[in-house]
Amino acid sequence: MKAFVITLGIFLMPLAAAAAEADAGRFQLEKSGDHFVRLDRQTGAMSICQDKDGALVCRMAADERAAYEDELDRLAKRVTALEQGNVAQRALPSDAEVDRSISIMERMMKSFMGMVKEFQAEENTNPLPQKT
């Protein structure tokens, strides 16, 4: 079992390295004055990064932040509207709607039972021959 795990690990290492290399090419850094601009090649998002105590700290650009907050507000309004709409949809049907539904079900069941009785009567008049 130990040998299997080691062998599996050896075969999976190149896959992990390939995935890391694909991620490494995702971002592109460009120096701009005293800061860097980071471009996400997958989404197209741009961030402004600065070197603080040896660590690169990135934040969204002002226009992207405004667009991000606008999208959050839009989604919050949509969630509120959907939640309020669900309350209205959960209302119980009126007595007239219930009575109508029950009468439709009764007619359907009567028709079905009528068909069953016809098949039973037909089976009794024309029994199948016994093959045993």
Per residue of the chain (132 residues), give pLDDT as tens: 566 556 555 655 665 555 545 566 788 888 888 888 888 788 777 788 888 888 878 877 776 777 788 889 999 999 988 888 765 556 788 899 999 999 999 999 999 999 999 988 888 887 667 776
CA 11 – CA 4 distance, rounded (Å): 11
Task: Region of 23 please: left (phi>0), alpha (psi -120 to 50) or beta.
Answer: alpha
Residue entry with tokens 């949509």: 78
Q: What pLDDT was estimated at residue 100?
A: 96
CA 62 – CA 72 distance, rounded (Å): 15
Helices (H), the chain: 2-24, 62-89, 95-125
Whether the CB-CB separation of 59 and 48 falls below 8 Å is answered with yes
For the question of whether the overall pTM of this predicted structure is more than 0.75, the answer is no
